[in-house]
Amino acid sequence: AHAASAVQREFELELPWCASIDILGLVLQSEAGQPRPYLGHSTHAGEQRPRWAALGDSVTHGWCGNESYPSMLARWNGWEPLNMGIQGLALSSEDATAMGSAVAAQSPDLVSIMLGLNDCGANVEVGPLMRDLLASLRRGAPKTPVAVVTPTWHAGCFLEDQRAEIREAVRERRADDAKVVLVEGRARGTED
Task: Give one word for 8, left, alpha or beta, with left for phi > 0 and alpha for psi -120 to 50.
Answer: beta
Angstrom distance (rounded) from CA 10 to CA 7: 10
pLDDT at residue number 46? 57
Region 6-31 average pLDDT: 61
Question: pLDDT of 126-183, one tens digit each?
Answer: 999 999 999 999 999 999 999 999 987 666 676 788 889 999 999 999 999 999 999 9
Reference 130, options 88, 85, 173; nearest CA is: 173
Q: How far is the CA of 18 from the CAs of 51, 64, 72, in angstroms? A: 28, 4, 19
pLDDT at 33 over 80: no
Question: pLDDT of 74-120, one tens digit each?
Answer: 888 889 999 999 888 988 888 899 999 999 999 999 999 999 888 88
Reference 166, options 108, 110, 96; nearest CA is: 96
pLDDT at 68 over 50: yes
pLDDT at 67 over 90: no
pTM of the model: 0.73
pLDDT at residue number 139? 96
For 57-97, where are the E strands, in sequence order? 80-85
Angstrom distance (rounded) from CA 47 to CA 82: 18
- Decide if 125 contacts 165 (C-beta within 8 A): yes
